[in-house]
Amino acid sequence: MSAILRKIIAPGGIPAWGIRVIASRTYSSSAGGKEMTVRDALNSALDEEMSADPSVLLMGEEVGEYQGAYKVSKGLLDKYGPKRVIDTPITEAGFTGMAVGAAYHGLRPVVEFMTFNFSMQAIDHIINSAAKSNYMSSGQISVPIVFRGPNGAAAGVGAQHSQCYAAWYASCPGLKVLVPYNSEDARGLLKAAIRDPDPVVFLENELLYGESFPISAEALDSSFCLPIGKAKIEREGKDVTIVAFSKMVGYALQAAEILAKEGVSAEVINLRSIRPLDRATINTSVRKTNRLVTVEEGFPQHGVGAEICASIVEESFEYLDAPVERITGADVPMPYAANLERMAVPQVEDIVRAAKRTCYRSVPVAVNA
């Protein structure tokens, strides 16, 4: 597939507007066809930032000798040595507290959690020691730290390894929360996070590590950086806005393809950043399409979709032609059995159905086994 330019000809032969359909997850027509996995994107970002700034350290369980629990830090121990790539004892509270202390005194640690589920054992240090310190010390103690690791559901890992922490961390003033989707996001946002003077929670996705995405020459440059707090419109559309982050962006794009065949043109927004939330981009899009579907894997109550819905209602209520639809994970701890797990996370069909509901083309909500 390649980029297609399509014109919608309204009755009377006058072109209404043009839509360029860009398919992601295939070869880009722009660059010379280079592809990169998310894992390599993260590795290269870490490598470049550690090379550029000797105060950047990486620490966590298995990051050194084991090359990283998910091989994200492959080769870094050999290149930078044990003083900058630190294999820590098993104590999230310990190494997070220690890293925050190091950040207090001028180092720039990148702390890896084997999964963000384990960050709960260190959450006091993330919130009380990192997020609030600059404020409570009136600017005397800044915390240029990055907390990164896989977040959300993987495959068949059960309740204690599948929770999404985007909403929890994003509710905290003092933190920045980033959610990369593809390789370009991974590179640009991780580099921005490491350079940022404030504490950043960087939520990756285990299932995306091995996925390959096209990457431009610009994104491969070592000075490449994405702005924090700006969402990206992955696919332009006019009938309904679908807002997603991380893995759900891929699902939303698949849903948009299916919807296009049925005559519904969906605009897909890749949030890239949960805090700060790019309310302007979301509102502008909804004012154009008049319909909104939010997608996330996390629990429904007090989730990211709830905040987006509130933002739209507060700022663009008159533009809505249909109630906002939230697609979220099920309100249960993640079950293990494959069939149950499938029912507990959003699937592409759920997004398609929700988008259709907002377009008044409701379909019976049948349960697919």
Partner 1 sequence: MNFTSESSGKRIPCFRVLDDNGYPIAGSIFEQVNKEVAVRMYSGMVTLQIMDTILYETQRQGRISFYLTSTGEEAINLASAAALSPDDVVLPQYREPGVLLWRGFTLQEFANQCFGNKADYGKGRQMPIHYGSQKHNYFTVSSPIATQLPQAAGVAYSLKMDKKDACVVTYMGDGGTSEGDFHAALNFAAVMEVPVIFICRNNGWAISTPITEQFRSDGVVVRGQAYGIRSIRVDGNDALAVYNSVRTARQTAINEQRPILIEALTYRVGHHSTSDDSTKYRAVDEIEHWKTAQNPVSRFRKWVQGNGWWTDEDESEFRSNIRKQLMEAIQLAARKEKPPIANLFTDVYEENPPNLVEQERSLGETIKKHPQDYPSDVPL
Alpha helix locations (H) across 198-278?
217-220, 247-261
Q: Nearest distance from residue 228's CB to partner 1, in Å?
A: 10
Is 92 catalytic? The answer is yes
- Please say which residue, 94 or 300, places its beta carbon nearer to partner 1: 94
Instruction: Count the helix, strand and coil residues of the chain and give each as a percent rounded to the nearest 5.
Output: 40, 20, 45
Least distance CB 96 / partner 1 (angstroms):
8
Instruction: Please identify, using beta-carbon distances, which residue of 56 and 243 lies nearer to partner 1.
Output: 56
Task: Establish whether 302 is a catalytic residue.
Answer: no
Question: Choosing from 161, 204, 234, 341, which is the catalytic residue?
Answer: 161
Q: How far apart are CA 298 and CA 234, in angstroms?
A: 21
Report the alpha-carbon distance of residue 53 to residue 337 in Å, rounded.
Answer: 45
Closest CB to partner 1 among residues 153, 225: 225
Q: Tell me how far CA of residue 107 lies from CA of 32, 39, 79, 143, 187, in angstroms.
A: 38, 25, 19, 9, 21
Contact residues toward partner 1 (CB under 8 A) are 83, 86, 88-89, 91, 93-107, 109, 124-125, 128-129, 133-142, 173-174, 176, 196-198, 229, 276
Task: State the minimum distance, in angstroms, from the CB of residue 307 to partner 1.
Answer: 12
Across 210-288, the runs of DSSP E, i.e. the strands, are 212-214, 232-235, 240-244, 266-270, 272-275
Residues 6+ apart with CB under 8 A from 357: 322, 325, 363
- Residue 346: count of CB within 10 angstroms of its CB: 22
Q: How far is Cα 91 from Cα 114, in angstroms, rounded to an integer?
A: 11
CB 288 within 8 A of CB 240: no
Question: Closest separation between CB of residue 246 and partner 1, Å?
Answer: 22
Q: How far is the CB of 141 from partner 1 (least distance, A)?
A: 6
177, containing H or E segment:
strand 176-179
One of 61, 92, 234, 341 is an active-site residue; which one? 92
In the bound state with partner 1, the residue whose beta carbon lies nearer, of 239 and 278, is 278
Distance CA 209, CA 71 (A): 9
Cβ nearer to partner 1, comparing 145 with 334:
145
Give the residue numbers annotated as catalytic, written as ranges. 92, 161
